[in-house]
Structure formats: structure tokens, C-alpha cells
Amino acid sequence: MSYRRALPWNDALRVLNASGMAACTAALAILLLLPGCTKEPGTAVASAPEPALVERGVDTRIIEYKNTLQRDPFSAEARFGLGTVFLEKTDLRAADSEFSRALELGMDANIVLPQLARTWILMGRSKSLIETHANTRLSNPSAAAALKAELAIAYTNRGEPKKAREAIDSALKDDPTSPAANVVRAQFAMAEKRVDDALRILDEIFVAHPGATDAWKLKGDILLLAKSDAVAAMAAYEQALRTNPRHLPSHATLVAMALGSHDLAAARTRLNRLVEVAPGYLQTSFFEAKLAVAKGDFKAARDVIQQAVVDYPNDLRSLMLAGEVELKMGALRAAEEYLTRAMVIAPNMPRVRHLMAQTYLRLGTPDKASAILEPMVSPKRSDPVALALSAEAALQSGLPIVAMRLFERAAAAAPGDPKLRTALALTRIAKGEVEAGFTELEAAAAADRSTYTDMALLSARLRTGDLPSALKAAQGIARKLPGKPLPLWTLGGLQLKAGNAGAARSYFEQALELDKSFVPAALSLADLDLQARDPDKAMRRFQSVLALDPNHQEALLAVAEIRSRTGEPPQKVKEAFEMVVQLHPSQPQPRLSLINHLIRSGNGTAALAAAQSATGVLPSDLAIVEALGRAQLAVGETAQALTTFRKIVSAQPRAPEPHLLMADVYMGLNQNESAMESLKQAVALKPNMIAAQAKLTGLATVAKNWPEALRVARNVQRLQPKAAAGFHLEGLVYAAQQQWDLAVVAFRNAAQRGQSSELTVQLHGSLSASGKKDEATRLAAQWLAKNPADNSFLKYMGDLSLVGRDFVVAEARYRAILATDERDADALNNLAWVLVQQSKPEAVAVATKAAALQPKRADILDTLSAALASADQLQAALENQKKAVELAPDALAMRLHLARIAVKARDFPLARVELDKLSALGKSFPQQADVWELRKQLR
């Protein structure tokens, strides 16, 4: 590893734990992005660039030096001046060329050689420096010491510590106060872990040379890395900048510190200062990209870092960051290309191999990931990141025992890393050691000061359907984050899942009280407001957010969504979403929301246009690509949709969700064998993916392949024995075979693990079908006592009563639904029909309200016609029934109803036309007796 080469920030902390000069030098190299490019006091004394010129901007200095060379092409001083500017800009080849020309033109070697040597070190030419200048003797003691200090660094880079020590001893004999030599001496002390001695040496430098910029920079590095004193380190870097405001390594390190502490505002300020002094500096582009990544703007990061790679094709840090950005954006082949180039430059750098392994894992090639990590996971190595990635590769390869052993080694190598303990525990759970895995996960959560493990524990509990334990995990998160809205919002969501809407609302309100702009809580409360039929209150939830930031993306999207859910015209809602897209054109969520709205509102053509526009702006965003596929389905472009979804499969070969999308398309085409194949691939990638397992069960049930359907259901039970899903699926299979007693047993097993409205409906239906009417009645009463506002179950019970012609009970059920949701068109329609059957005059008003909500639903217009006819409003009844028949021309019962109303209204020509159409159908219309009775009434 060459001295002062730029590496990822966290590597410095790791390397400092190693021993030896090379390890220490490497650690300091991570932060010392560039050496100071100014002359330290005493370095050289003759014919340096004019101080007034040095103070000017980089571009100005280049122009003036080149103007000098136009007047005097043989000016060694101008060549040297250009070299110093190019070194400052890290244009190392140009600096090397100009310094070499200055020497050729006769400039004093005492001035040029220390700077040329520094340039060669940065270029990785340690061997050339040793071969060319190891025996060079300079007449100026300070210059001689500076050259020997660079030679000491070169020997260190070449793995020759003894010669490095000899070089620095000789340098100190030439000039005991040489800042350059004493800085390297301090580095030697650090290599021997004599931190206090290193700081003492630096303080001695400041006595003789208070403006020794590189020494101040090194002091900052030592304070930061060895003493963990960021405040004192920052003061040292600021002092380095006071001695030389253009000292790029200090500027760069301060930017890196701000990014490392996630202080993005400070990082922006620091980076602006760096841009002011060095707009063309390579690290400027690097940090611009890092800042964009920290903000989550990967598209901007990609644009910046790609240009940096073009300008500096062999810069390791830029290649690594470019690969990391592409990896985050899901552009896996591009990531592989950048990281392959980085591997050529630094084949043994751990971070490069880590990123490459992650890329291979995402590409679904665990064998390649294992191969790239192999040198780092040997018994003598203890790289915890490499071990964890190797464990993931083993899991992908179907080797859970190997994976668990690797996770155990990783956790032993980094016992304080909660992520590794968490991964090990989750692996045990996935392997079937559920109790042991959860015990380990809970222990890890208790020891982890962060909430990382608690979140994993919460997620795992939810996957197994253990809601009480999930609530307990969420409470652990809340204890660790007092005064933060997120855990309160999480608790609210869990309470809502448990059916405790009041407790959920309380948690959401507490979260919003802590942070008025916490949009997730406002959204959750707005959902509850909408369920309570209070859209104005839902809208007001976001007023405080938009008052602080009128362009707040999430708040604007929430307002548009509320407008959609409260029945505003689709065009108005579309315009609201389009406004958010215009305000945030590079963000995917506004575009996704617009596409989803257009698909929901049946405007497939506009949805496709919006999706195509989105893919033009965000071609690598897989959520956008998925939306394009759904839009293509909406307009009937099935073949194109399959092609689109296959792109997602190619980009994410280890992700099960794209296979699920393709299965949906195949099922829509009635290509059930292809659908089954896609679902099996999804399950192979994620065995506990319930959505895929449920669809597999459904397809097997449709094919009446009962053994296969039961096998899938029981496999889910094996994978998630404490969850309801597998037993629920088993009940559905038995119900499809009308084996009601077995269905009851399965549904009861499911209910013991997690009750739901859907499951209660199916258990009630199975009890009724198996002749257990009294049990079914008790179940319904118990469920409604606990869940009086369960509109789904109320509708089911109302419909049962309606079919059984128990109109009094049916009316009560539908009115209960409307008490909590007065805009439920189905409940209004069914209530109106029940009232018609009871000859109640309220039927017309109720049916009219339903028709106002859904004016183009034929069944609702049919009910309205019946209500009007029962109230002797025959002309209005006829007009509405004609509309119903126009909307549903193949609904023959509605034609018969139209004929019946026409007869009652004595519109015999209309009645005759409709009855003739029905008579012509013969036996294919089973109500010919009714047709004949109506014909007898014609005049």
C-alpha cells in the first residue's frame, strides 16, 4: 500500500490496531489525503515562486506562469512554479513533468528535488525514487533532510524498515529541526505505538516551526485516531489551515469528519471551502459524491463520481465509490466493472473485496463471492466483514451449517458488533433452531446500545406472527430512543395491527407531538381520520408540515392521496401528483405515486406515458421499472410487461418479488404452469414468502391437485409453526374440497396463532356448512363483541342474512357498517335492497345516496330502480333501469327487471322489446316462466 493513498474512513480505525511501521503509515494514509504542498520552513531557500503569486488562485497562477514561459521558454523558475501548482491540484503527471524540466533547465536541485520526490511518492513510484536518488547529496541541509524524509517513506512503502530508519537518522543529522524529517520520526513513534512520544516530537517541531502545516495535520490525525479526541483533532486541522489556508489534506479531512458524523450541513460548508481553494481537486468530486450518497441522492452521486472516474481513471477511491453507488442503485454489472478496475489497482485491499463480494451476492453468484473472499477467511485471518459475507454466500448456496460457523467466527472476531450477533441468531432461526435463535437475538438486543438488533428482533417476531413479543421488542426500541417519534409510531402500528385503534391513535399523536414534521405519524392519523369519515381533519394533519416547508415531498403526496381517497375527480388528483413530480423530478416516489393513481383510476394510457417518462429519468430504479410493467399490463401489453419484469429478474436474480410479478402475469393469461414455475422460483429464493406460498396453494387447488396444495400449506406450517398462515392455507384447501370438519380444525389452529377478520369469516362458514350452526352463531357474537367496527365481517354477516331472507338482521348489520363509514356504497346498496324487501319508504333515499357515490355501477342503479318502482316513481325507475342495462347489457336479470318495470308503467312497447330478446334465448335463460307471465300482461 503506498503512503498517503486515500482509503475509506473506517479503515483507519481498523489499521491502527495493527502493529508495525507499515500498518501505522497505512492508517495515517487514510486521513492524510495529500501531503502539504507548501514549503516547510527551511526546506529550500533559493528562487522559490513569489509569495504574492502563491496567494493568488490556482487558475490565475497557471496563466501567469504560462505567460512567463511564452516570453521565456527556458525559465526554470516558471517551470518549477507550474509544478508546485499542479502538485497542489494533484495533477501528478503534470507536476512530475514540470519539476523534471526545471531540473533540466538548471534550477537548484535543493529546491526541486524534495518536491519531485514528494510527487513520485504520491504517484506510487517509491522504487524509482530509491533507485534514482538514494545516493543523491544536496548541499542545503534543510533540503537534504527533506529529500531523505521522502526516501524514508519510500523505503517504508517497499517494506524495508531498517533502511527507512537509516534514512531518517541521516536526515536528522543534516537538520535536527527539519519539519519533514521530524514528521516521519513522529510516524515511527506511532508505528511503535508510542503515541505520547509522537505528540511530543510534533510539539518540538512547533517550537522551531510553528507554521509546520504537515505537522499540525499529523497531530490532528493522531488525536483523532489514537486518542479518539475529535475536538482536539479538529483544532489541529484548523491550525494547519491557519498556517496554510490552501492545505488540501486538512480541508479534505474536515469534510470527511463531518460526513463520518453525519453532520451534512457542516460537510456542505467544509466542502464549499475546499471548492473555493481547489475547484479542480480530485477529492472535491469524491466528496461531492459522498455527500450526495449521505443524502440518499444516488443519481447525483453517480453523475459526479462517473465524471471523476473519467477524469482520473486510475483513482482507487473514485473507482470504489463509483462501484458502491452502482451497487446501491442496483446496477450490478456496472458495479462489477468499476470494482474489477479497483481490484487491479489494489488487489489486496479488504474494502474492494468486500464490495465485490456484495455485488456477486446480489448477482446471485455466491460461488464468485466465496472465491473473492477466500484469502480473507482463512483460519489465520479474522476479517469479520469478510466472514459475514462468506456466511451469506454459504446461505445462498444452501449450506446453512457452514454459514452458521462462519457467522460464529465473525461474531468472535468482532464481539462488540451487534450486526454479526444478529446475523448469527437469524441464521439459527432460519435453520429451525427457533427458540435458541430468539434467545440469542434477545440477548444481543439487550447488549446493543443501538436499535439495530431490536429492529431485527421486531421484524423476526412479526414474521412468525407473534404480535405480543413484537410489541415487547418495539417497547425496547422506545426505551433506547426516548423523545424520538419513530418507536412511538412503530408501537402505534403494532397496536393497530392488534385491533386497538384507540391505543394506536394515542401513540401516533405522541409521535407527532414530538416532531410536527414526522410525516409517517401524520399519515397514520390521517388514515384513522379517513376511516372515521373526517377528511378535513386528515388534511389538516399536514398543514403544519407544509407551513414549515411548502415543497415537503411526503406531505404533498399525502395530501394528493387523501384527495384521491375522498373521491375528488381523478383529473384533479392527477394534477396534484404531477405537481409533486415537477417539484421533485429526480425522486422516484412522486412518479410512482402518480403511476399508481393513474392505474387505480383506470387511466392506463396515461399511466404508461408517466411510467415511460419515469424510466427515462430513472432508468436504473427497479421500482420504476416494475411500475412500467404494471402500466403495460393496464393497457393490455402483456408481452411487453413480461419483458419488463424479466429485466428486474436479471437485475435482481436473488430477489423473489420479480418472480411473483411474473407469476401474476402468467395467471392473468391462464398460463398456470408458467405461473407455477415462477412461484416455485420465488419460494426457492425465499421459502417463508407467504404470498408466493398462498398462490402456489391456490393454483394447486384450482387444478384440484389436493396433495400438492396440502404439501405447500404444511411446508409453511413447518417454516412458521407459530404463525397462522400455514394452517389458514390448509383450511382453504379442505374447504375447496368441502371437507368441512377438517377445514374447521385447520381454521381453529390458525385462529389460535393469530385471529383476523378473513379467518373468522372462513371459520364461521365452515362451521355453518358442517352443521354446527350454534357454534357459528357464538363465534360471530364473540367476534363482533371484540370487534364491533369490523365492517368486513359485518358485511359478511349481512350478506348471509340477506341470502337467508332475514331482512331485519341484515338491515342491522348494514346500518352498523354505515355508522362508521357512511360512504360505503356496497353497504348502502344492500341496505336499500333490504328496505325495498320490507317496503320501507327510506329505500329511495338510501339507494339514491349509493348511486351518487357510484353512478356507473349497474347493480346500484338496478337497486335504485327497484326502490323507485316500489315508491311508484315509475318513470324515474325506468330511466335508471335503462342506464343499468346499458352499463351491463349481458346482465339478463336486469333486462327482466326493466321489462317488469315497463309493464308496471304500462310502457308495453318497451316491455315487449325486452321480453322478445329474452324469449329468443330459449332455455339458455332459465326464467322463461317469468317472461311468459309478463307477456300475459301486455295489451
Fill in the amino acid letter for 351.
R
Predicted local confidence at residue 807, as pLDDT: 93
Q: Answer yes or no: is pLDDT of 513 > 90.
A: no
Q: DSSP string spanning 322-346? A: HHHHHHHTT-HHHHHHHHHHHHHH-
Segment among 253-257, 299-303, 368-372, 448-452 with least mean pLDDT: 448-452
**192-228 confidence digits (pLDDT tens):** 788 888 889 888 888 888 888 888 988 888 888 888 8
Predicted local confidence at residue 42, as pLDDT: 34
Give the CA dihedral 253, 258, 260, 263, nearest 10 degrees: -170
Predicted local confidence at residue 499, as pLDDT: 74
CB atoms within 10 A of CB 582: 9
Predicted local confidence at residue 901, as pLDDT: 92
**261-286 confidence digits (pLDDT tens):** 878 888 888 888 888 877 666 677 88
Q: Are the C-beta atoms of residues 851 and 879 closer than 8 Å to each other?
A: no
pLDDT band at 395 (very low <50, low <70, confident <90, very high): low
pTM exceeds 0.85, yes or no: no
Q: Tell me what the mean pLDDT of segment 600-624 comes to.
A: 88
Q: Is 424 exposed, middle or buried (0-12, 13-18, 19+ CB in 10 A)?
A: buried
240 Cα distance to chain centroid: 39
Segment among 415-429, 487-501, 783-797 with least mean pLDDT: 415-429
Angstrom distance (rounded) from CA 392 to CA 384? 12
**152-200 confidence digits (pLDDT tens):** 888 887 778 889 889 889 988 988 888 888 888 888 888 778 888 888 9
Can you say whether residue 668 is alpha, beta or left, with left for phi > 0 and alpha for psi between -120 and 50 degrees? alpha
Q: What separation in angstroms does the CA of 223 have from each of 31, 199, 216, 245, 685?
A: 12, 9, 11, 21, 48
Q: Tell me what the mean pLDDT of segment 21-50 comes to.
A: 35
pLDDT band at 76 (very low <50, low <70, confident <90, very high): confident
What count of Cα atoms within 13 Å lies in the side-chain half-sphere of residue 506? 5
32, 95, 99, 91: which is closest to 278 by C-alpha? 91
**20-34 confidence digits (pLDDT tens):** 333 333 333 333 323
What count of Cα atoms within 13 Å lies in the side-chain half-sphere of residue 130? 16
Predicted local confidence at residue 90, as pLDDT: 65
Predicted local confidence at residue 19, as pLDDT: 31
Of all residues in the chain, the percent with pLDDT exceeding 70 is 90
**804-830 confidence digits (pLDDT tens):** 999 999 999 999 988 887 878 899 999
Q: Tell me what the mean pLDDT of segment 243-250 comes to.
A: 82
Q: Is 531 exposed, middle or buried (0-12, 13-18, 19+ CB in 10 A)?
A: middle
The chain-wide mean pLDDT, for the chain, equals: 82
Predicted local confidence at residue 55, as pLDDT: 45
**519-565 confidence digits (pLDDT tens):** 778 878 887 887 777 778 878 877 767 777 788 787 888 888 888 87
pLDDT band at 59 (very low <50, low <70, confident <90, very high): low
Q: Answer yes or no: is pLDDT of 49 > 60.
A: no
Angstrom distance (rounded) from CA 146 to CA 144? 5
Which of 105-114, 283-292, 565-574 has the highest average model confidence (pLDDT)? 105-114
Q: Per residue in 308-338, is it b (16+ CB within 10 Å) or e — as a string?
A: bbeebeebbbbbbbbbbbbbebbbbebbbbb
**120-151 confidence digits (pLDDT tens):** 887 778 888 899 898 999 999 989 988 998 89
pLDDT band at 628 (very low <50, low <70, confident <90, very high): very high
Predicted local confidence at residue 452, as pLDDT: 59
Who has greater pLDDT, 624 or 365? 624
Which of 510-519, 677-686, 877-886 has the highest average model confidence (pLDDT)? 877-886
Angstrom distance (rounded) from CA 697 to CA 704? 10
Q: Tell me what the mean pLDDT of segment 675-701 comes to.
A: 87
CB atoms within 10 A of CB 450: 12
C-alpha cell at position 708:
400438492
Q: What separation in angstroms does the CA of 875 have from each of 865, 872, 906?
A: 10, 9, 10
pLDDT band at 730 (very low <50, low <70, confident <90, very high): very high
Can you say whether residue 807 is alpha, beta or left, with left for phi > 0 and alpha for psi between -120 and 50 degrees? alpha
Predicted local confidence at residue 450, as pLDDT: 65
Angstrom distance (rounded) from CA 855 to CA 872? 22
C-alpha cell at position 283:
477529492
Predicted local confidence at residue 57, as pLDDT: 57
Who has greater pLDDT, 594 or 349? 594
